[in-house]
Structure 1
Amino acid sequence: VQLDAERFDVSAVIDAKDFAELEEIRAGARDAAIEGVMLKRRDSPYVTGRRVGLWYKWKRDPLNADCVLMYAQRGSGKRSSFYSDFTFGAWTEEGELLPVGKAYFGFTDEELKWLDRYVRNHTTARFGPVRETDKSLVLEVAFDSIHESKRHKSGLAMRFPRISRIRNDKPANEADTIAGLRRLVT
Structure 2
Amino acid sequence: MSKKYVVHEDPVVRTAGQYIAMADLAPFGFPDLWEQIWLGRREDGLFVMQCVPFRIYGLNLFDVVRLDEDDMLVEVVEKGGHRTLRALLEAGLAPQVFDEVAGGIAAQARSAGFALEWSGDRHAAIDVPGDGDSASLVAFMDAHEGAGTLFWEWSDAEPFQAPQRGTAC
TM-score (norm 2): 0.25
TM-score (norm 1): 0.24
Which of 1 and 2 has higher RCO (CA within 8 Å, sep 6+)? 2
